[in-house]
Amino acid sequence: MARSGEKEVRTLPFESDQPIREFGIRDLKDRASEVIRSVASGERVVVTKHGNPVAVVVSIEDALDLLLASSDEFVRMRLEARRDLEWQG
């Protein structure tokens, strides 16, 4: 259940069974330690400014996965693999 200043939302396309919590900037400042503990255990948090999403706080593992998934080399390898599969099938 969401606390004061915090909302449970599902507005971002993350693959997760957990609801994504939303914190305003002021609430994030007041509860930073709690948010970091939650994120370290796998939760994702949306940070809002005046009710609009402006940032996402994720674990370092999730951040590295996101960076890898969008790296030029990984994208090139994925496209080559897709072409190879199409050629074989």
Please state the pTM of the whole predicted model.
Answer: 0.61
From first to last of its 89 residues, the chain has per-residue pLDDT tens of: 455 555 554 445 555 666 788 999 999 999 999 999 999 998 999 999 999 999 999 998 888 888 887 788 888 888 888 888 888 76
The CA-atom distances, in angstroms, between 80 and each of 65, 71, 88 are 20, 14, 12
| C-beta of residue 35 within 8 angstroms of C-beta of residue 55 | no
- Could you write out the DSSP letters of every residue in 28-68? HHHTHHHHHHHHHTT--EEEEETTEEEEEE--HHHHHHHHH
Q: Count CA within 13 A, CB hemisphere, residue 46.
A: 20
d(CA 6, CA 71) in angstroms, rounded, equals: 33
Residue 14 token pair: 């993350």
What is the structure's pLDDT at 70? 77
